[in-house]
Structures are given as structure tokens and as C-alpha cells.
């Protein structure tokens, strides 16, 4: 199959009563979207004048960098933000620095059970989830495995896959729930053929940047297939490239590489506040309430690589991800493609 243009990819998908009862909406083509914001815009800029009072948002990786700026901005605009971190202490420290309502939750993306527990805590709060931003991520210098699977793929994709599925009913319960998956233009560094379904261990192809790009390709394809399955509901899914941002994502690299990364950040890269802008824009802008299945960079739609537009690859990734996380599957809502 020839990959279709992602800007027009959204196809029919079905939901059981949990989603279809909310009624259909019509989606907008990404070609129809433009904004006044750009590379230097900050999260504060793109949310200026918005009142998010009464909305609930969840941001993964809230304790530093883009995640913290995303949480801070949404809380500043009135949302109740649930921020996840690997430990409660880190999450609490970040939430304590926020002006507004922020609640810490624990999420260790290598341990899928914590994703299930995190979702259970959110459900216990009894409120719909208006915004879900899958932001947390990591880069590793060396090959290591989680249950035999290459770690980038587990941390950056599979952990979020479990979390999203367990929170989907709450997103569908919101008047217009939005899911944002933070990908990266680094998906272009993935292996040429795309997702390595025949070797998810990474043994035959691992290099740090290639593996990171592979996981970011998975983020984009996850959003692609999720958007297809959400077609006809009030919820949407979009992927974003935050830009190359000076954050602590390079913390697992050798000291000299981390130092070089940070130095480059001072000279060329976006600040965390600028890196959070596109996520906040896609999650909150009123003009985007029916925008589903797009890929954004610098607060405007962008066409990603052919692999990230490949609907067959996206569907296969979904099926593979379900198989790999079967022990942690969500009971509802049941999405059918």
C-alpha cells in the first residue's frame, strides 16, 4: 500500500456505546489550519486569554522540562492538572511550584502496572478528562531491555499505550476530549522500513538515535491509528513535534554528550516554555476542537515522513502493542477498527 497523505488520512472507525453515545462530529482537514504562532511562541503566548476553569488535564513527565511547562501553563489558565512523575516526591515538588491546582501521580513507564494504577486513581476522582498529553520520554545511550523489548520502545510508546487505553473512557466522557502525543521530528531517524516488528529487541539495529527515532515514529503511528478509531466521536488525537528543546531528556547520555547537548541548547534550541507551546496549542485552542489525526510543529500542521503516514503500519503497531500489553488491557471502552 502506498502511504496516504496524513493530512487526509482520517477514515471511519467505530466505538461501542461508550463512545458513540456522545454523537458524531465532523473533522477538519489539516490543510485548513493555520495559526499566528510559530517557533518562538511560548506556552503562555498560545494560551493567553483562555479560561480552562472546570477542565481536567493529565500531563505525563511533569517534573521537568516541557512537561513541567505544560503543567504550569494549563494550571495557570485554570485547569486542574494531574501531573505524573516516576516518584511521588518528584511529582509533588513540581506541583508545589505551580500557581494553580496541580495533583501529582506516579507513573513509571517501564512498569505497565503503574499505568493501570494511575488511571484507576484518575477514575476515582470522578471527573471527565478533557486533556491527555503524553509527554514523558527518555533517550538511552546503550541498548537495554524491558522484558526483552528495547527500552525506548517501552518507555516512549508502550507505557503510554497502556495509559491511554485505560483513560480513554474518561476522555470520551468529556465534552470534547483531546489526546496529544508528543512525538519528534527525530522519527525520521528510525530504520528506513519503519517499525521493527521482527526485532523489537533492537539487537540487530540498535543505535541510540535510531532507537529514539523508532520510538518517536511509534508515537506518531499510535496517534494516527487512535485518531482513525476516534473518528465519529467528540474526542480527537493529534501528534506534535515540540522542537529541539534544552531539557533533561539527555540525562542518560554520557557526560560529554549531555554537556554538548545542553551547550547547543543555549545557542540554538528552544526553551522548555517554547517547547511546550505546540502541545498546549493543540490541547486548548478553540479552533482545533474538530481537528483529528494531524501532526503539528511550531503550532502549525506539518507533513511527517512517509512511514508516519502509513496507515497499515499504524494498524499493525496497534495490534502488536495490544499483544505486548495484553496482561494490562483496558476493559472499556472497546475500540474496534
Cβ neighbours of 261 (radius 10 Å):
19
State whether the Cα torsion 54-56-59-64 is positive or negative.
positive
Query: Order of strands across the sheet with 300-301?
Result: 102-106, 80-85, 56-60, 131-134, 178-182, 236-241, 295-297, 300-301
Known catalytic residue at 212: yes
CB 84 within 8 A of CB 118: yes
Q: Point out the catalytic residue in the list 68, 212, 281, 295.
A: 212
56-60 and 80-85 beta bridge pairing: parallel
Sequence-ordered strand ranges (E) for 260-311: 295-297, 300-301
Query: Is the backbone peptide bond immediately before 333 cis, with ω within 30 degrees of 0?
Result: yes
What one-character-per-residue DSSP string does 320-333 give?
A: HHHHHTGGG---SS
Helices (H), 174-268: 208-230, 255-267
What is d(CA 263, CA 265) in angstroms, rounded to the nearest whole number?
Answer: 5
Active-site residues, by number, are 212
Amino acid at each position: 500500500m502506498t502511504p496516504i497523505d496524513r493530512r487526509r488520512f482520517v477514515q471511519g472507525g467505530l466505538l461501542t456505546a461508550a463512545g458513540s453515545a456522545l454523537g458524531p462530529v465532523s473533522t477538519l482537514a489539516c490543510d485548513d489550519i493555520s495559526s499566528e504562532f510559530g517557533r518562538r511562541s511560548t506556552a503562555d503566548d498560545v494560551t493567553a486569554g483562555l479560561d480552562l476553569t472546570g477542565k481536567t488535564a493529565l500531563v505525563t513527565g511533569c517534573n521537568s522540562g516541557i512537561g513541567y511547562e505544560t503543567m504550569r501553563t494549563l494550571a495557570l489558565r485554570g485547569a486542574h492538572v494531574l501531573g505524573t512523575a516516576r516518584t511521588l516526591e518528584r511529582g509533588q515538588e513540581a506541583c508545589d511550584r505551580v500557581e494553580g491546582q496541580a495533583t501529582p501521580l506516579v507513573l513509571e513507564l517501564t512498569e505497565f502496572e503503574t499505568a493501570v494504577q494511575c488511571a484507576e486513581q484518575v477514575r476515582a476522582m470522578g471527573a471527565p478528562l478533557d486533556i491527555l498529553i503524553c509527554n514523558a520520554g527518555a533517550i538511552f545511550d546503550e541498548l537495554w531491555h524491558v522484558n526483552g523489548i528495547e527500552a525506548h520502545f517501552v518507555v516512549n510508546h508502550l507505557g503510554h499505550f497502556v495509559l491511554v487505553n485505560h483513560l480513554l473512557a474518561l476522555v470520551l466522557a468529556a465534552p470534547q476530549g483531546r489526546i496529544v502525543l508528543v512525538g519528534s521530528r527525530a522519527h525520521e531517524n528510525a530504520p528506513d522500513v519503519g517499525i521493527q516488528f521482527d526485532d523489537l529487541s533492537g539487537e540487530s539495529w540498535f543505535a541510540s538515535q535510531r532507537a529514539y527515532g523508532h520510538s518517536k515514529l511509534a508515537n506518531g503511528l499510535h496517534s494516527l491509528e487512535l485518531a482513525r478509531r476516534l473518528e465519529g466521536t467528540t474526542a480527537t488525537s493529534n501528534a506534535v513535534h515540540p522542537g529541539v528543546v534544552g531539557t533533561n531528556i539527555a540525562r542518560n547520555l554520557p557526560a560529554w554528550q549531555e554537556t554538548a547537548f545542553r551547550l547547543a541548547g543555549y545557542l540554538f534550541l528552544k526553551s522548555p516554555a517554547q517547547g511546550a507551546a505546540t502541545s498546549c496549542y493543540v490541547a486548548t485552542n478553540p479552533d482545533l476542537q474538530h481537528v483529528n489525526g494531524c501532526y503539528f510543529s511550531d503550532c502549525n500542521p506539518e507533513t511527517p515522513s512517509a512511514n508516519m503516514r502509513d496507515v497499515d503500519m499504524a494498524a499493525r503497531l496497534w495490534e502488536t502493542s495490544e499483544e505486548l500489553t495484553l496482561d494490562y488491557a483496558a476493559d472499556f471502552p472497546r475500540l474496534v477498527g
